[in-house]
Each structure stands twice: as structure tokens, then as C-alpha cells.
């Protein structure tokens, strides 16, 4: 059987690494994208010990303008069968005081790069009548998030965008899945706040291996929205039943408790 090809962003660690591992176990060739060159090389070396599949590494900063086109141009000779838009980071603090450059990078990464990469690979998937796209959103997508306002808003965009195009693509053979995990034990927290990288509220902290497996299975089934964990599913419904200002206050209280020194 001829191996298909999957492109995974943010593949050097965390959910990206776990999803790449699941893909190569399913006999996919890989295009792994990350800005951390040494870790990408480590991943390739590790995978090469057990698998003979082709692995292409692209060292790219996905927060930069027009980076999606640059990536696509380098893999245009390949047929991308699976796209995993995983790369992302968070930023903690009040909007009036947080660093705009950092926020701009986050918006470019979460919104522009995710959207543009999706747009670039879709035509060939539709032409083949086959393809899968997995966009990593978050439980944060379901409500506003004081003290992480831009992160929550950008993840809401990913969820809404994914649901909309999933509907547009019905009957084409192409599916889009938005994975919406809650807090997950990855390096993500280290990028949120330099002062306090560990969540103080950790009872709902998920294992990245389990989250990746849940999202991967949902993608294979063509499920549009995937929320791992019964408690997270419950939390995602809270904004439907309580006033939005109350849900927003609850989120702020959790954020303050998580980050208090």
C-alpha cells in the first residue's frame, strides 16, 4: 500500500509530536513543521529507529506573515492527505498591558497561518475526493477569557471556522475536525507566563497521549467537534445555561487562581 502524506505543524513536542507518532504508525509519510530545529531533528531520529516512512522537516516560524505560502511552495510536489494545524501558544495578562508583538504573532499563527494553510491544501483534497484536516482549538473556544483574551478569541475563531467549512465540505470526501482539549500537560504552559508556568488548578489536567489519541480517532471518523473528557464536555455547555457575564467571571477567577504566585 502506497503511504499517504500528513503535514503537522508544531510537531517537535506536545500534541503535535503525539499526533505525528500516531500518523506514522498508520503508515503516513510526514512533513513536520516547527521553529525548533534541534527538537525536530530529535523527533526524526526517534521515528527513523522504528519506521521507514519518509520524513520531511521544515524549520519555520509559523507566526510570520505569508509563512503558509512558503510552506506550501516547499511541499507542492507532495500530495497532502492530512493537515494537522496544531502549533499555538498562549499569553497571560490584561490586554492593556500585554505585549502587542507577542499578541500579533499569536494571531498570525492561530488565525492567518491556520486559515491560509487550510485554503492552500483544500483544492487538491477536493479534487481527490479525499482528505482530512485537524485543527487544534481549545475548551477556551466556548467562552470569553479575561486575562487571556486574545488566546480565547483566537481559539473561538478556529472552532467557528472549522465548523463552517466542515459543513461546506459535506459530500466532498474531505472532513474537518476541531479538537478542543482542556488543560493538557505539555510545554504550552511555559509559553503562557514567564513568572508562573504551572497551573495551580490541575485536577483537570489531561495526558497529551490520550488527548492526541482522542483527536486522531475523531479525525479518522470525520467528527466535526471533538472534546476529550466528560468533564470538559460539561464545561463547554456552561455558557448555554448561565449568563455570559457570569461565565466570564468564572473564567477570570480560574485564571487568577492558576497564575497566583
Q: In what order do the strands lie in the sheet with 174-179?
A: 55-59, 29-34, 5-9, 80-85, 131-136, 174-179, 225-226
Q: Nearest-CA neighbor of 22 among 38, 6, 35?
A: 6
Alpha helices (H) along 99-168: 100-107, 114-128, 149-168
51 Cβ neighbours under 8 A, 6+ residues apart: 24, 25
Decide: 109 and 63 in contact? Cβ < 8 Å. Answer: yes
Would you state the cell numbers that stand for residue 102, as one nine-digit string? 507577542
Please list the residues that pair with 83 across neighbouring strands.
7, 133
**CA 235 → CA 95, 139, 200, 240, distances in Å?**
24, 8, 18, 10
Sequence-distant (6+) residues with CB within 8 A of 249 are none
Pairing mode, if any, of strands 131-136 and 225-226? unpaired
How far from 117 is each of 8, 12, 21, 55, 73, CA to CA, in Å?
A: 11, 19, 21, 19, 11
152 is annotated as an active-site residue: no
Among 17, 28, 72, 151, the active-site one is 151
Tell me how far apart the alpha carbons of residues 187 and 36 are, in angstroms, rounded to a whole number.
13
Catalytically active residues are 151
Amino acid at each position: 500500500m502506497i503511504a499517504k502524506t500528513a503535514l503537522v505543524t508544531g510537531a517537535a513536542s506536545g500534541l503535535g509530536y503525539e499526533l505525528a507518532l500516531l500518523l506514522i504508525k498508520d503508515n503516513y509519510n510526514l512533513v513536520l513543521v516547527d521553529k525548533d530545529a534541534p527538537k525536530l531533528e530529535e523527533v526524526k531520529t526517534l521515528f527513523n529507529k522504528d519506521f521507514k516512512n519518509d520524513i520531511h522537516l521544515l524549520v519555520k516560524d509559523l507566526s510570520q506573515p505569508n509563512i503558509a505560502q512558503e510552506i506550501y511552495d516547499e511541499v507542492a510536489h507532495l500530495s497532502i492527505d492530512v493537515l494537522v494545524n496544531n502549533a499555538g501558544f498562549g499569553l497571560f495578562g490584561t490586554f492593556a498591558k500585554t505585549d502587542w508583538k507577542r499578541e500579533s504573532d499569536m494571531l498570525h499563527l492561530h488565525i492567518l497561518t491556520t486559515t491560509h494553510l487550510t485554503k492552500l491544501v483544500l483544492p487538491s483534497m477536493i479534487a481527490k475526493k479525499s482528505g482530512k484536516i485537524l485543527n487544534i482549538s481549545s475548551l477556551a473556544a466556548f467562552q470569553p477569557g479575561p486575562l487571556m483574551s486574545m488566546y480565547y478569541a483566537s481559539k473561538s475563531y478556529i472552532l467557528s471556522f472549522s465548523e463552517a467549512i466542515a459543513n461546506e465540505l459535506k459530500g466532498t470526501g474531505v472532513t474537518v475536525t476541531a479538537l478542543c482539549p482542556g488543560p493538557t500537560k505539555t510545554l504550552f504552559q511555559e509559553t503562557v507566563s514567564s513568572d508562573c508556568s504551572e497551573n495551580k488548578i490541575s485536577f483537570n489536567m489531561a495526558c497529551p497521549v490520550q488527548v492526541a489519541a482522542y483527536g486522531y480517532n475523531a479525525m479518522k471518523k470525520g467528527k466535526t467537534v471533538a472534546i476529550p473528557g466528560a468533564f470538559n464536555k460539561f464545561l463547554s455547555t456552561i455558557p448555554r445555561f448561565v449568563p455570559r457575564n457570569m461565565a466570564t467571571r468564572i473564567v477570570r477567577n480560574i485564571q487568577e487562581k492558576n497564575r497566583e504566585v
